Amino acid sequence: MTLDDAQTILALTHCSDQYERALAENDVAALDALFWQGPQTVRYGVGENLYGAEEIAAFRRNRTGGSPPRTMLRRAITPIGTQAGVVSLEFRRIGSTRTGRQMQTWINTPDGWKILAAHVSIMAEQPETERPTL
């Protein structure tokens, strides 16, 4: 197993970019299509725990206005062979000083790359002296 397959990194970078674009545009259909459509899919959000593709889709449909706008600060892509990988991302919501974190586990399916598990969290406010330089 390799943790640095270049083709897998390219594929996951493209998928992550698609996800970020769909999130910014509140394209619910595109977001739903990026998740594995099964009961095994899990998404832990900032204020919700969602189990299965149906719960995730219902959350997106009922979220007025979509996700707050954000800026990506850092992204690490780790392939696990050529059939799975993890995208770890730090972000900052516009107008906030708090750092958000997002991790997604992607799997390569016959229908393309899909998110099988995701976790989003927001860090506690840091004193000015502890904030990382951007």
pLDDT in tens, 23-58: 999 999 999 999 999 999 999 999 999 999 999 999
On whether residue 112 sits in a domain, the answer given is: yes
Walk along the chain (134 residues) and give the pLDDT tens digit of each residue.
Answer: 899 999 999 999 999 999 999 999 999 999 999 999 999 999 999 999 999 999 999 999 998 888 899 999 999 999 999 999 999 999 999 999 999 999 999 999 999 999 999 999 999 887 666 656 55
Parent domain of 26: 6-122
On whether residue 92 sits in a domain, the answer given is: yes
Between β-strands 99-109 and 84-93, what pairing exists: parallel, antiparallel or unpaired? antiparallel
Rounded Cα–Cα distance for residues 130 and 103 (Å): 23
Domain containing residue 64: CATH number: 3.10.450.50
Rounded Cα–Cα distance for residues 61 and 50 (Å): 13
On whether residue 69 sits in a domain, the answer given is: yes
On whether residue 111 sits in a domain, the answer given is: yes
Q: What is the pTM of this model?
A: 0.90
Dig out the tokens for 79 from the structure: 């392939």
On whether residue 117 sits in a domain, the answer given is: yes
- What pLDDT score does 11 carry? 98
